[in-house]
Structure 1
């Protein structure tokens, strides 16, 4: 699972089970990975099959957009010399339209299920691709009709919080409209869930990297009072003696030097401030350094490995 969360709050609870992205530059970088992964999967789809086979090496990827209205609004943000972030929204449209056959699934969540106007909560093209819709209690029949595409699904009349209606267009118009009871989990219960492998795709690695699962599997280190602390993923193996040294660009060298100087975990924004470089430039440098085994990521922070100190020196 990959969680896009511009509100920041929910994503923090899932860092040990999902790849979480909260900054727009990080979302742009992940979108590029998803496009590359989706295209490669579709090109490798066996003849006569409608959906790519999934496996531990090539898992189903669920892209969950939380607070979708916030993302739509923030994507209009102008960055000097770089335009806005509408390419992030365009990628999510592509995922919704094209990549279900590649087992890359988009789930969109919003508190305001409107398709247009100021502050709308979901993009109209994305909404048109949603074949399954789940609605909690909404404010009005108009909102219910926006969610389900029909006025006779009374999400505005649900009996109490915690109940929802689910509509699956593949089941046709005669499906039952009985409310279902949803399972509720506190933040502490989510944090206490066991860790699981987190998907990454980097420019330096093939689509199914050798030993990728082992290198990127977070490991549980301590469980205390409902808090789960994660050990960072193991770094890639050091290069063998006599092998060609890692060649770093100027931006990669600056990011690596900042991480080594910090001598501890750094957030993306910390690296932007320390290097005085654009967010996108820092994101690309960190991805490449991670691929080289010089940097490890743990949730929303980055740390230099022991090999990084030698390269930096």
Structure 2
């Protein structure tokens, strides 16, 4: 799937897409946090996790993986995650403060440099895209700077999927939130899966009434896109959906080039393998989820277009995403 002629064109398109996406997503987050009165030192979301030690025996996990623990302590990133719950369970129109709500969150580690990701996914020669932080090691699984990313958010709608552990964790968190005076806030649970670790953990999250109001506005009006590149000056908008909420979260992590959020990590061979499988043989859950994400998120569109054209030229059929039945 090598293509000498596509490298420079793809690199330019990827760079333009990165810039446009990050401007939009950073504006959305800044506006949302100011509207909610949330700042990095705010306790509104952090207080739900200060009692993590008493949750560890219930979750059945000896130690919470560092990246996920850091993700769950970041109020900027919990806002789009909360938005996913609000949209998936229609919490704008139906409060569910007195019942457990659960969703599955699948996370992974992928290159923090989009050019590295494209080289691995497209099977390009070393340094084809030229800008990668580790292009000379493309495909070898060495010295890649990685970052945590969310690949999928799947609401649990079957009551039979609710375990006793879910109920215990939710009841404790509900009692704590009520004791703090936030009776109208939702308490939700996330089953977080990381494929390479072959493990999951359940963590609670508190969703405020203010966030529900903000998501309602976004749902009605959409996210305003930057108009810098539009000579007509017209404002265009993206719809507020679960998919765009995940894009916001992922783009915010990607924009943190100095790793102030501590969500960067060295990639391992298993992380590289998932990217390869997504392009060549997506049969595992992580590979299928990644391929779906690459096909869905705008930042990957240039490299996905190259992939789709090459696949169709080789097989005569456009690529499709296998259906996953997780729940």
> Which bracket does the TM-score occupy, shorter chain normalised?
under 0.3
Q: Which has the higher contact order (CA 8 A, sep 6+)?
A: 2
TM-score, length-scaled by structure 2:
0.24
TM-score (norm: length of structure 1)? 0.25
Higher helix share: 2
